[in-house]
Every structure is written in structure tokens, then in C-alpha cells.
Structure 1
Amino acid sequence: MSAKAPNAKLATLLLGLSIFFTGASGLVGEYILSTLSSYLLGNSIEQFSITIALMLGMMGIGGWVQKYIDDSHLLEKFILIEMLLALLVGFAPLAIYAAFGFMETHFLLIQYAFVLSIGFLIGFEIPFIIRINQAYSSTLKANLSTVISADYFGSLAGALVWVYWMLPNFSIVINGFLLASLNFLIATVTVLYFNYHRLIEKRATSFVLIGITVLALAGGSLSANRWHLELQQHLYNDKIVFSKTTRYQHLVVTHNGKRDEYRFYINGNLQFSSLDEYRYHEQLVHPLMHIAPSHKNILVLGGGDGMAVRELLKYSDISSITLVDLDAELVRLAKNSEVFKKLNHNAFDSARICFPDINNALSVIGKREWIPYGDDINRSEKTGMKPMMFDVVHIDADKFLDRIANRNYDVVIIDLPDPTSIDLNKLYSSEFYMKLKRTLSKRGIIVIQSTSPFQTQKAFLCIGDTLHSAGFQTIPYHDNIPTFGEWGWYIAWKEESFSKETILKQMQQIASFTIPTRYITPQYFLSSTVFPKDFQNHTPPIVNTLMDPKLFLLYNQEAAYYE
């Protein structure tokens, strides 16, 4: 007896759900690969643009090629496509990560092979769904409407889920398996429904393929974190002791037992070594603090590791410190990790006001109320110490400046990562510096970490030119940080506040630093303001703006030269 024909509406619904999740998994799969390549190579705009463009191009090729496939065994072919797509999306992040570690010279070939394959299968699959669904749609326009709209809506849903749930909560490799498993589950339910109605002829082959895929995805999901750690370890010389992907970046801490050295990386880029970070942070903080006429209100942009704050807490005449760092996970690491606590001298024990809510934070920073956050308490109640204001706000630095236009800071310390991405580039733009200028007190002074004046000399000079375009006067200085190489900073102030001669005279009159330092002396700092003969200013000035991100381009071009 023949089986009852499938319900047309239910069959169309299941096929629509399949294409919905295919649209979601395909687009998010490309997001995963783009994000991974951005972590590994930097230059997120280039990685996302090329990846998405290649995917769309291959979707077109896949759609064209499918016309040569006959109509026999369409459901079995659909199963094969879904199996291949699930395995590619699931294992792609691990495979690309392995390629980067073991065959870096051919890494891009592996990466783009996965991108092209996933795009081809998505483009190949969509017409297959249309052809299968043709039997259950009354008209061609109804068929096309169901499939195409499901694909587009799936892409929208996938993008939203990726940004607001997957990326903040799961690692790249787990996201790959999560996405592949969900998509394959829906496809399998669809296949089982059609099998129930005896529309699948090669049942044994089909179920063997489904079983193989399920086992592969399950095994990959269970082993993903272990494989990821093992592959990641290959990229670092020293043992990884901490690894976490946050909503904004990938954090890694390594340890060299022989030297007892800890190194901290963000997206694979070294941020500090425990052996010499004090050299960098003393140069960042103390020259500025001895030049600034007032220390009453201090703003730190970046510096979520707590090292800059460690140096600031040596001063007794500070009324308030506000630290702005976008990534709460980084600050949590610096607050709770024994490694970071030892290095930053428990700096975040003084963060007695820490804000989980941005609007609440912006309404009370600089005031004396205590607002508990997590395990934070009023430390003065335990120790009898006089509390110093130390506000921690997790918000983008540019947005923070937009929302505190009515506050003035006497000292601003900018300790942000290098401009490796467009997101970071805006924090080195003329527009950003003009906002910063509005938040400075009349005699306020700032310091900015400014990349390497040797390896990225044009980028270093561009930062100075951009500061001048925003109405600042500057004094550049540099030093050799053994694990970084030659590094540079700018001290800057409103051009109407002081003459350059006044600042230089103040610098020369510093007889000694009034707080304890391990490395820097006034005399050494003065020598750091002298640059060698081969350090040449470019003409005309190069100004970095939001609409013309010259710094981002210069930095990546110069940095690539030394890789």
C-alpha cells in the first residue's frame, strides 16, 4: 500500500525552515570565517569584504551549475548538500586555525577554499529547494516567494543572533559547530518527514550519511575546545595559561617558566610582558603627571589591565580617576587574575565604584556615593584608608566623550591598542581629538600611546599631525621597550593654554620624580624627547579623519613590512 502524500503546506513549511536556517548558517558561517581571519590577520574591513564578496560570487556559480543536475533523487541530493554544508561550516574554524599555525604561507588558500565551498553549496542548494518545493506550490511565484523570502529572513535572523548571542557567549570554534548542528537538525527533520511518506528511495545511503554527519558534529563539538587550545598553543612560543574570546576581542595570557615571564595578547598582538611593562607604563604616566599643573580629575581611556592606574595610585593629590574600557571581561581578568593582580598591585581593589549600567555611571561619576558592583565593597570600611574616586565605565571611548561634554579633566591618559582596525582608527581621528579637547580643563594635558616611531614611523607622525589639526600642540617622545622595540608617545595640550616653550621649561625643571619609580628618571625622560637624524617629518601633514582613515591604512602597510 502506498503511503499518503505529504501535506503540501507542511512540506512547504519544512522546506522553508530548511532554507531559513541555511540562509542563517551560510551568512553567519561567513561572519565566523571573517572574524577569525580578522583575529589572525587584522584589517577587518578587508577580511569581511573579500570573504562576503567571494561567498556571493560562488553562490552565483552554484546557482548556475545546478541547472546541469537532473531531477532524479532530488531529496537524496538535498541530504548530501546539507551534510557537506554542515561539515564545512562546523570544521572550518578549526581547519583554518590549524592552517595558520602549521602552513602559514598557504593559510589564505585554505581559508578561501572554505569560503568558496560554503558559498557554492548555498548557491547550489537554494535552487534545489525551489525544485523540490515546486510539487507543493500552486504557482511559481508562490514557490519563489516562499524560498527567497525564507533565505533573506534567515540571513537577517542569523546576523542578529550572531551579534547579540553567539559572539558574546561562545568561542569561534563552538559557534561553528553550534551553527552547523542547528541547520543540519532542521534539514534532518525535513528529510525524515519526506521519508515517512516514502519519497526517499535510497534510504540506507541517506541515513548512513545523516549518521556520519551527526557523529562527526557531535565529536567535533565535544572536542572543539581541546582542539582549539592545542592548535592555539602552536601559535605562541610559551604555554597558554588563559584564553578567552570576549564580545570584542580574543584574550590570551602565556607563561614562560624559565624566565617566569607572563605575556598578554589581544587578537594575537602583544600588549605587555611582565618583564618590562613597568618601563612602558612609567613613561606613559609620570612625565605627564609632573608637567600637569593639576591632578584633580583624571581620565584614563583604555588601560583595562590596570597598569596605568597602578602608577596613578602613587599620587596623593588626585581627587578622582575615571577609567573607560569597552571590554568588561578584560577588566574582570585584571581584577581577579592572580597574575594581573600581582602586576597591577591590586589596582582594581580601589575601583570601589564600578558600573554595570552606563546611564547610571554617567550620572554619578566624580561624585562620592558608593555603588556596589559584584564583590566590590567600600574598602575604606575594612581598612580605614581614605577612599579615592576610581570609576570604571564599560563603554566605547568615543561615545563616552559624547556623553560627558560638561565635565573637565586635568589629565587624560590614552592607553588604547594600536589602530589595527577601523573601530580603533576612529579613536585616533581628528574628530575624536576635538571631542577630547572639549573635555579638557583650561590647563589640561594629555598623553597618547602612539605606536612605534621606527617600525610605523608614518603612522606615528600621522597621529601628531592629527592632534595639530584638532588644535593641540605636542611634544613627541620615545623609548626602547625590549619586548616591543622602539615605542612612542605624544604629550599634548590645547594650543591656547600654554606655549611650547613653557612646557619644555617645566620639563627641564623637573629635578626628581616625587613618587617611586623602577626605571624612569627626569634626565632619562628628557633624553627620550630627542629623536635621531633619520627620523624625518613628512610633508605635507597627514591628517586622520573618520571619512578618510589614513592612519589605519598607513599603520597596516608599515606593520606588514616588518612581519
Structure 2
Amino acid sequence: MGFNERERAFVEWYPRGYGVGFKVKRKLFEVQTEYQKLELYETEGFGKLLVLDGTVQLVERGEESYHEPLVHPVMLAHPNPRNVLIIGGGDGGTLREVLRHETVEKATMVEIDEKVIEVSKLYLDVAKGAFEDPRADVKVDDGVKYLKETDERFDVIIVDSTDPVGPAKLLFSEEFYRSAYEKLNGRGLYVTQAGSVYLFTNELLDAYRAMKKVFDKVYYFSFPVIGYASPWSFLVGVKGDVDFTKVKGERAGKLKLHYYDPERHETLFQMPRYVRELLERA
């Protein structure tokens, strides 16, 4: 896994020998932060590539294919999302997309690794001013701890974490989901990325089962993401009577999105048949 100097390529290897790679012009730098190894590369066709502990986080050209489906389906399904919490997302892409919604009065972002924020501000064209937006409240803290201890209540909670394996496991636990449910307002939505549909199927099923024990209703959907072993899965937990199958068209028209299409919202729910059957039995 990682950068191959001879081939001038970075490859992330998934289970069963499946890899996703980019041709690389040069390695910009590598640093061991307090929490993880951070690498930054200049790719041939996708701008800069951000890697954490050997896993692709994003490429500048195409990162919207992840941030748009993570953010806008829940934001547009909620009747009036004013107070939003983002856990993770140190590159600023999720914060940027949340702040595109005029209803948002405050967006709190809690990132555990300050170095990710610092590098993203200095080197990546992703946040596009989101960190400086007066509605943004950026905190360097442990998201699990913050959610458990905060007195705030949120309309939408978005978890933009690393894969549901290793250090991020806690973010996919029943205990964490219960903290999130408690901190949502009476009508609230929770969304998390949940890994590769094909290669992290068991992790997806585990997270889905745990969420079903907590939320009033749970939805699953998938989306093709540039740089990931797609299709990539997402899970949505509902508190109250919010209908995630429908989005607010009048708000959607102002966004001018590139990847997620609110007019075809129903296409999100297409899932490979065998995976859908596994989820239905979970």
C-alpha cells in the first residue's frame, strides 16, 4: 500500500487484492501527526491527493462526488436545518457544502487532528473560504467526547470520518449512535459514510444493525465516489417524522450541484441485490 517511486503512483489496497490508484507527479510531503500519518501528493490529472494512514481521503478534482451525497440529501430532506454538527471533515469540504444552505445559522465542525486542518488550509483548494465563514465554529477535539459532553442540540449531524475500521470504529458503535440520537432535536437527521459496498459489506451491516437499535428509522444508500472503491455506502438515521425519501426542491434548485442530483433523489437507494437482501435481513 502507498507510493511506488518506480511506478510514480499511489495505490490504496483494499481487502482481497483490490486497489485504487493515481498516477503521481511528485510527493509533496509526509508528516506523522499526533494521530496518523499524513501524506500529500500532486497527481497527474486530479490535483492534490490527501492520504491519511495509507487511505485516500480525497483528490481535489472530484472530491464533490463524496461531499455532495454526504451532505445535501440530509440537508434537503430536513425541513429547516439551522444548527449542524460535523464530526471529522478536517479538509473543509463537508463544512463548505453545509454552509451553502441559507437556512444554516451555525455549523460546528469537530476535528481531532489539527494538522489535517492546517495542511488543508495551506495546500488544498477544497474549503473555499468555509473556515472563515462567520457561521462556522471549528473545534479541535475528539468528536466522540464532544458529542457526549455538549449541551447543544442539532438538526443534522454529519460524520465525515475515515473508514469504519481501526481507529474510527468508535464512530460506528451503538454507544456513539445513542449519543448522536440524544443530541438531535425532535426532528433530526444523522448521516455517516459507511465504506465500500463490496469490500466493507460486513462493516456496513454491523453499522446498520447498530443504528437500527437506536434511530426511529434507518436508510442506506450508495454513490460512486472518485478515488474510493465504489460504490460507496452511506447510512442515515432519523429522529422524529422526517421523511428522507423526499427532498425540498425549492432549496435544491439554488445549489447547482455537480454529482448528486436532487431531482433523481430516488436513485440513491439503488443497491446491489445481494447487499440489499443482506441489509433487509439484518
TM bucket, shorter chain: 0.7 to 0.9
Equivalent residue, structure 2, for 1:263: 49
Equivalent residue, structure 2, for 1:305: 91
Equivalent residue, structure 2, for 1:402: 148
Query: What SS is found at the alignment partner of 2:181?
Result: helix
Match of 1:243 among 30, 44, 61: 30
Report matched runs for 1:43-442 at 5 Å. Answer: 237-238=23-24, 239-256=26-43, 258-337=44-123, 340=124, 342-350=125-133, 387-388=134-135, 390-404=136-150, 406-421=151-166, 423-442=167-186
Where is the strand percentage greater, Structure 1 or Structure 2? Answer: 2
Q: Indicate how the Cα distance of structure 1 residues 255 and 291 shifts in structure 2: closer, same or farther if over 3 A, else same.
A: same
Paired with 1:333 and 1:313, the residues of 2 have a C-alpha distance of 21
1:184-235, Cα deviation, whole Å (9 max, x unpaired): xxxxxxxxxxxxxxxxxxxxxxxxxxxxxxxxxxxxxxxxxxxxxx79x886
- Does 1:487 find its partner at 2:232? yes
Q: Indicate how the Cα distance of structure 1 residues 519 and 539 shifts in structure 2: closer, same or farther if over 3 A, else same.
A: closer
> Quick check: 1:401–1:439 contact (8 Å CA) kept in 2?
yes
**Aligned CA-pair RMSD:** 2.4
In structure 2, give the amino acid aligned to 1:492: G
- Does 1:498 find its partner at 2:241? yes
Match of 2:278 among 537, 542, 545: 537
Equivalent residue, structure 1, for 2:210: 466
Report deviation, 1:540. 6.4
Q: Indicate how the Cα distance of structure 1 residues 540 and 434 shifts in structure 2: closer, same or farther if over 3 A, else same.
A: same
Paired with 2:132 and 2:30, the residues of 1 have a C-alpha distance of 23
Report deviation, 1:539. 8.0
In structure 2, give the amino acid aligned to 1:314: R
1:481-524, Cα deviation, whole Å (9 max, x unpaired): 23212101112112xx127xx432x34x6474432212221233
Match of 2:198 among 440, 454, 459: 454
Equivalent residue, structure 2, for 1:78: none
Query: What SS is found at the alignment partner of 2:232?
Result: strand
Where is the helix percentage greater, Structure 1 or Structure 2? Answer: 1
- Percent identical residues: 24
Structure 2, unaligned runs of 5 or more: 12-22
Q: Indicate how the Cα distance of structure 1 residues 304 and 472 shifts in structure 2: closer, same or farther if over 3 A, else same.
A: farther
Query: Displaced runs of 4+ in structure 1, greater than 4 A?
Result: 233-237
Query: What SS is found at the alignment partner of 1:503?
Result: coil
Kindly tell me the number of residue pairs found equivalent between the two proteins. 266
Equivalent residue, structure 2, for 1:86: none
> Quick check: 1:334–1:348 contact (8 Å CA) kept in 2?
no
Paired with 2:57 and 2:31, the residues of 1 have a C-alpha distance of 15
Q: Indicate how the Cα distance of structure 1 residues 412 and 259 shifts in structure 2: closer, same or farther if over 3 A, else same.
A: same
Which structure exhibits the higher relative contact order, with contacts defined as CA atoms closer than 8 Å and separated by 6 or more residues?
A: 2
TM-score by length of 2: 0.86
> Quick check: 1:335–1:349 contact (8 Å CA) kept in 2?
no
Query: What SS is found at the alignment partner of 1:284?
Result: helix
> Quick check: 2:99–2:107 contact (8 Å CA) kept in 1?
no
TM-score by length of 1: 0.45
1:397-440, Cα deviation, whole Å (9 max, x unpaired): 11101211x2210011111111221x321111000100111100
> Quick check: 2:164–2:194 contact (8 Å CA) kept in 1?
no
Paired with 1:444 and 1:527, the residues of 2 have a C-alpha distance of 22
